[in-house]
Amino acid sequence: MVAKKWMVFLTILVCSVLGWHYYSCSGSCVFGLSHHLDKPPNVKEVLFFFRVPKTGSEMTVLLLQWLQGINSFHHIRLQNTVNRRLDTFEQVNLREEILGVLSASEGLPVAFDRHVYFTDLKRLLYRRTSAVMKVNYFSSLRDPVDRIVSQFYYRRATPRPNIKLPPHVSTRMPTSYRFQTMEECLEAAEPECSFVTGQHYDLQIPYFCGHDEHCTQLNNARALEQAKTNVELHFRVVGVLEQLNCTLRAAEQRIGTFFGGVQQLYFKELLEAS
């Protein structure tokens, strides 16, 4: 027991000297992320948009880019990677990236967006800074079948040979598969179009469940309940693409700092102009 206490003490000491983080749960250091902020962020309000692919998120990003000038906030597009499930190191890295932006934001509200599974950034931020800020989570959903069909054709229209494969696909598709229809893929029972209970998929639930392994498992009851709990406890608004009117109305009413005037912008200026 004495030896273990000394090991913990030495670990904390090394972490402190080298500027790393110490995690009591694992007794380990996380390299290179514990930098001192030049000044604590004085931002009063933050929005994090957890982007679910193929749910109209690009349109929402476009609206935020236009609204930042109208509502006087900064909109930051965080670097997207194919890795949406983050380990502890990567979650802390995401927090540090956000804090770096906030410390230089001159007090204006800041909106962030990224394709990433649910991460309780509010809890992570409060661990790192004593600054008082309101953190809002926003996201959107879509009919699951329509989303899968949309993603199927998107991958064929915008092939990226170096991109990481989805968790349920082990080999890359030949070039000829770019011309395959969804019906042909289903009839051939290709891995991309086969969904098996218990297997892991990048569907919509992980974007609300989080980074636990069960979150990506198809038909996992625990993942569904965890996602529902996170939505109820943490998210200000979760929209539905097929109910865009209601989504924009709710966003403007509940997160007005960022979405104030969004209905006027979308329905009057964008739709009528087109």
Asked if residue 161 belongs to a domain, the reply is: no
Residue 265: what pLDDT? 95
Tell me whether residue 152 is in a domain. Answer: no
109/101 Cα distance (integer angstroms) = 11
Count of domains observed in the chain = 1
pLDDT given at position 34:
35
Write out the residue range of the structural domain in which residue 137 sits: 41-145+200-271
74 contact partners, CB below 8 Å, separation of at least 6: 68, 101, 105, 108, 109, 110, 111
The per-residue pLDDT for 30 is: 32
Question: Tell me: the pLDDT tens digits for 86-138?
Answer: 999 999 999 999 998 988 888 899 999 999 999 999 888 887 776 778 999 99
Residue 222 lies inside a defined structural domain of this protein: yes
Residue 4 is predicted with a pLDDT of 41
Distance CA 263, CA 240 (A): 15
Here the tokens at position 241 are 């693409």
**257 part of a folded domain:** yes
Task: Write the CATH number for 98.
Answer: 3.40.50.300
88 and 20 in contact (C-beta within 8 Å)? no
CB neighbourhood size of 149 (10 A):
13
Domain for residue 21, yes or no?
no
Q: Is residue 15 part of a domain?
A: no
Examine residue 178 and state whether it is found in any structural domain, yes or no.
no
The total number of residues shown for the chain amounts to 274
Can you give the pLDDT at residue 36? 39
Per-residue model confidence (pLDDT) at position 252: 97
Task: Tell me if 87 sits within 8 A of 123, measured CB to CB.
Answer: no
For residue 164, tell me if it sits in a domain.
no
pLDDT at residue 44 in the model: 82
The pLDDT value recorded for residue 12 is 33
CB 262 within 8 A of CB 165: no
Q: Which residues of the chain have a pLDDT value below 50?
A: 1-39
